[in-house]
Chain A
Amino acid sequence: MSKAPIDPLPRPANVSRRGFVGGLSAGILGAVATEAAGAETLADVPDRGPGAILSAHSERSRFAKIDRIPEAGPGKRNIDPGDTINSKTPHQKLVGNLTPTDLHYERSHSGVPDIDPAQHRLLIHGMVQKPLVFSVDDLKRMPSISRVVFIECTGNGWENWKKADPELTVQNTHGLVSTNEWTGVPLKFLIDLVSKDKSSSWMLAEGGDGAGVDRSIPLTDEIVNEAFVAYGQNGEPLRPAHGFPMRLVMPGFEGNLNIKWLRRLKFGNQPWMTRWETARYTQLLADGKARQFQLRMETNSVITQPSGMMQIQPGYNRISGLAWSGHGKIAKVEISTDGAKTWTQAQLSQPVLSKAQVRFQMDWVWDGKPTRIVSRSTDDKGNVQPDRQSFIAAMGTNALFHYNAQQTWSIDEAGRVRNVLA
């Protein structure tokens, strides 16, 4: 990280320039190339002049270097692109509550299909009176809703089950969760169109990817009322990586249930026991038994600023991060800067939405002594994000999925921020 003698932003009174710039250099400015000389005085700011030709599609500034990181699994980085199984959101370089569309995390099980929407169909059948086939245009003609929700891979956090690699960034540890606005048709509306049999209590959702990823979905009142088939993402058609031309959105539930490239919904009265809900997304406990249908994503939070592999300076530092819960709204986030001994409530960035990520932040003056910082969230149903020790006591270290223990970052005397277990 550059420590060029620059002063690009106004700073609060009583904070030395060195401390302020040092703290920032690890964060938002870290997303921007600062190799070039800065502007010591206003005279150093380049002259104005005509800029580039206006375009049909705007790109990020060449100074803003923000990318996802493709990985092949826990601890498998810097890989052959062909081995990629997921691509993680760079939370350490983002601000606000929403994730940019192109940086929304991706987990796909058989690549990204190239689907012509004119040839895509959604079949809804099984225990229904009227099995129907819908085109993308059919869906777009129906009454729609838009909702901001997080989607989280069940493997988010899977790096830290057994040990903490000190070289990890928050992108490595928590890059499998993102928040977008999705637009589409309520599942309830489609259920009415096909006249679902009342005794049907499960639904199979299947994708049009090579793996034909399919999951059994329990038709609880919550799911029937909140699930929807989306064709819009942040105001535009879904990106192919996220299910173009249509996907299921299941607010608060495992990412894998939000079936991408959706092409079939089948109603039945028992789960199908697909590979994904038996062999894959089940959580192996210490006694050798596995938790099954642990479908809801838990109460969670992580400090993104400062976070793993950053370096801070003594003095003013602003702590910021993201919190979310599959149970509902985040009620509060507390931060400890003394290794979980004392806690202070952080500010939440409005709006705080149910089953969406919310940014939290807090002022902090670092005294330059080694310490540990950690956040914990509480949702409006009273669920509290567990500390690592009690979490591991309940889940063991073999579960692989549904990791939501508090994330601790250690800070040494040089200000180096590193991933630790607690």
Chain B
Amino acid sequence: MCWHNKQLIAAVLGFGVLASPALAFDFGRPATPDEIKLWDIDVGPDGKGLPDGAGTVAQGKQVFSDNCAACHGDNGQGGIKDRLVGGQGTLASGMPVKTVGSFWPYATTLFDYIHRAMPYPTPGSLSTDDTYAVTAYILSLNGIVPADAKLDKASLPKIRMPNRDGFVPEAEFDPARLARKK
């Protein structure tokens, strides 16, 4: 950072520390609990943020066929977009196949991603139940949950993904280390 940037930041931060209590009202407005709820969609690996609702593998098969198969293939084998199924045992090979089954470390991430970003043309259009259902279906295609499984906010975070221990955090930003530091 060049000299005058440092000066500027020092000035800005000094201003912030000294003046922000008095000026807080001037910048922005308080967020109401109801409107926060509309946007607060993120789901953590511990299941925090998962909504009420439930879905079965059988329901998910239909949801997948209607909304997902066009891009991801009839059984999640891949198409114009990512393959979702298989690849277990390939990660250390010359041709690794990274899928939900072979690579993703948390089942909660699958729910969160479908919920926020899928289906691509109309993200957020699936109901909560349908999102649980299609999550269950993709996990069943990978042999991670049985064909008669039903998922909800209690059961989803308990699923142990095959590659759960496949990640090595960078020392500088290791969550365990940062938590200890605080």
A interface, CB within 8 angstroms of B: 110, 123-125, 130-135, 138, 141-147, 186, 188-189, 192-193, 198-199, 201-202, 204, 206, 210-212, 214, 218-220, 225-226, 263-264, 266, 268-275, 278-279, 282, 284-296, 351, 353-354, 397-398
For the complex formed, measure the closest distance between the CB of A383 and the CB atoms of chain B, giving whole angstroms: 13
Query: Across the interface, which residues of B come within 8 angstroms of A279, CB to CB?
Result: 98, 100, 103-104, 109
Asked if residues B179 and A188 are in contact (CB atoms below 8 Å), the reply is no
Partner of A133, one of B5, B11, B16, B29: B29
Asked if residues B24 and A193 are in contact (CB atoms below 8 Å), the reply is yes
Asked if residues A275 and B2 are in contact (CB atoms below 8 Å), the reply is no
Q: Known contacts A123-B36, A188-B16, A272-B44: does B28 contact A133 (CB below 8 Å)?
A: yes
The number of chain B residues touching the other chain, given as a range, is: 35 or more
Asked if residues B92 and A193 are in contact (CB atoms below 8 Å), the reply is no
Query: Across the interface, which residues of B come within 8 angstroms of A133, CB to CB?
Result: 28-31, 35
Asked if residues B42 and A204 are in contact (CB atoms below 8 Å), the reply is yes
List 11 interface pairs A-B (beta carbons < 8 Å), by A numbering.
A146-B5, A201-B182, A206-B42, A210-B123, A218-B173, A220-B172, A273-B45, A278-B105, A279-B98, A288-B166, A353-B1
Asked if residues A145 and B12 are in contact (CB atoms below 8 Å), the reply is yes
Closest chain B residue to A200, Cβ basis: B182
Partner of A186, one of B13, B106, B168: B13
For the complex formed, measure the closest distance between the CB of A347 and the CB atoms of chain B, giving whole angstroms: 20
Asked if residues A287 and B1 are in contact (CB atoms below 8 Å), the reply is no
B40 within 8 A of A: yes
Q: Can you list the 8 inter-chain pairs with the closest CB atoms, starting with the nearest? A: A288-B92, A288-B91, A212-B116, A131-B31, A293-B173, A134-B28, A132-B28, A275-B113
Asked if residues B1 and A189 are in contact (CB atoms below 8 Å), the reply is no
Known: A202-B175, A287-B92. 16 other contacts (CB 8 A): A110-B120, A123-B36, A125-B36, A132-B24, A141-B26, A186-B16, A189-B15, A193-B16, A198-B182, A201-B178, A211-B116, A220-B178, A269-B182, A274-B109, A284-B96, A290-B168
Partner of A212, one of B5, B9, B117: B117
Asked if residues A131 and B112 are in contact (CB atoms below 8 Å), the reply is no
Query: Across the interface, which residues of B come within 8 angstroms of A188, CB to CB?
Result: 9, 12-13, 16
Asked if residues B16 and A192 are in contact (CB atoms below 8 Å), the reply is yes
Query: Across the interface, which residues of A come within 8 angstroms of B11, CB to CB?
Result: 143
Q: Known contacts A143-B15, A145-B5, A201-B182: does B112 contact A275 (CB below 8 Å)?
A: yes
Mark out the residues of chain B between 21 and 35 whose CB falls within 8 Å of any chain A CB in the assembled complex.
24, 26-31, 35
Closest chain A residue to B18, Cβ basis: A192
B174 within 8 A of A: yes
Q: Known contacts A272-B44, A296-B172: does B182 contact A125 (CB below 8 Å)?
A: no
Query: Across the interface, which residues of A come within 8 angstroms of B105, CB to CB?
Result: 273, 278
State in angstroms the CA–CA spacing of A133 and B120 once bound together: 28
State in angstroms the CA–CA spacing of A142 and B42 once bound together: 28
B43 within 8 A of A: yes
Partner of B2, one of A290, A294, A296, A353: A353
Closest chain B residue to A191, Cβ basis: B16
State in angstroms the CA–CA spacing of A296 and B26 once bound together: 35
For the complex formed, measure the closest distance between the CB of B157 and the CB atoms of chain A, giving whole angstroms: 11
State in angstroms the CA–CA spacing of A152 and B9 once bound together: 24
For the complex formed, measure the closest distance between the CB of A129 and the CB atoms of chain B, giving whole angstroms: 10
Q: Known contacts A123-B39, A131-B36, A264-B39: does B167 contact A289 (CB below 8 Å)?
A: yes
Query: Across the interface, which residues of A come within 8 angstroms of B113, CB to CB?
Result: 274-275
Asked if residues A145 and B9 are in contact (CB atoms below 8 Å), the reply is yes
Asked if residues A125 and B40 are in contact (CB atoms below 8 Å), the reply is yes
Query: Across the interface, which residues of B come within 8 angstroms of A296, CB to CB?
Result: 172
Asked if residues A130 and B24 are in contact (CB atoms below 8 Å), the reply is yes
B170 within 8 A of A: yes
Partner of B117, one of A110, A134, A266: A110
Q: Known contacts A134-B27, A192-B16, A273-B45: does B92 contact A145 (CB below 8 Å)?
A: no
**Which of B5, B27, B45, B116 has its CB near the most chain A CB atoms (within 10 A)?**
B27
For the complex formed, measure the closest distance between the CB of B144 and the CB atoms of chain A, giving whole angstroms: 15
Closest chain A residue to B124, Cβ basis: A212
Asked if residues B1 and A294 are in contact (CB atoms below 8 Å), the reply is no
For the complex formed, measure the closest distance between the CB of B181 and the CB atoms of chain A, giving whole angstroms: 7
Query: Across the interface, which residues of A come within 8 angstroms of B39, CB to CB?
Result: 123, 263-264
Query: Across the interface, which residues of A come within 8 angstroms of B174, CB to CB?
Result: 293
Scoring B residues 94 to 125 as 1 if CB is less than 8 Å from chain A, else 0, what string do you get?
10101010011110110011001100100100
Query: Across the interface, which residues of B come within 8 angstroms of A282, CB to CB?
Result: 167
For the complex formed, measure the closest distance between the CB of A168 and the CB atoms of chain B, giving whole angstroms: 22
Partner of B42, one of A131, A214, A287, A351: A214
Query: Across the interface, which residues of B come within 8 angstroms of A130, CB to CB?
Result: 24, 30
Closest chain A residue to B122, Cβ basis: A210
State in angstroms the CA–CA spacing of A395 and B41 once bound together: 35
State in angstroms the CA–CA spacing of A132 and B23 once bound together: 13
State in angstroms the CA–CA spacing of A167 and B53 once bound together: 53
Closest chain B residue to A186, Cβ basis: B12
Query: Across the interface, which residues of A come within 8 angstroms of B182, CB to CB?
Result: 198-199, 201, 269
Query: Across the interface, which residues of B come within 8 angstroms of A274, CB to CB?
Result: 42, 109, 112-113
Scoring B residues 32 to 66 as 1 if CB is less than 8 Å from chain A, else 0, what string do you get?
00011001111111100000000000000000000
Closest chain A residue to B14, Cβ basis: A143
For the complex formed, measure the closest distance between the CB of A147 and the CB atoms of chain B, giving whole angstroms: 6
